Amino acid sequence: MTFWRDKYEFDNLGLRIEGNIWDLNFKLLDDRDQLIAEIKKELFHLTSTYSVTVLEDAYADLVISLCVAIDYVEMLESQSH
């Protein structure tokens, strides 16, 4: 178990997201640990802004969907505090 790290797994897709919750950087990896995409939240913006690098074009739509989902979860968590 790692401290201060989030890990989300998608069993049916063979993918997982790993990232550091403090610097808001996430990586999408396949079941062979190959990097599919990098997602970095940019700070100092009035709205949520992400820098997204997709290394596998076939996953582009999924990566954007994951950005939306991560942002939504963060919003829900911030509202609960």
Q: Residue 67's pLDDT band (boundaries 50, 70, 90)? A: confident
Find the farthest-apart pair of alpha carbons in the chain and give their distance in angstroms, rounded: 37
Mean pLDDT, rounded, for 54-76:
86
Q: What is the pLDDT of residues 7-50, one digit of tens each?
A: 667 778 888 888 875 567 888 899 899 999 998 888 887 877 88
- The C-alpha atoms of residue 65 and residue 69 are separated, in whole angstroms, by 6
Burial zone of 23 (CB within 10 Å; 0-12 exposed, 13-18 middle, 19+ buried)? exposed
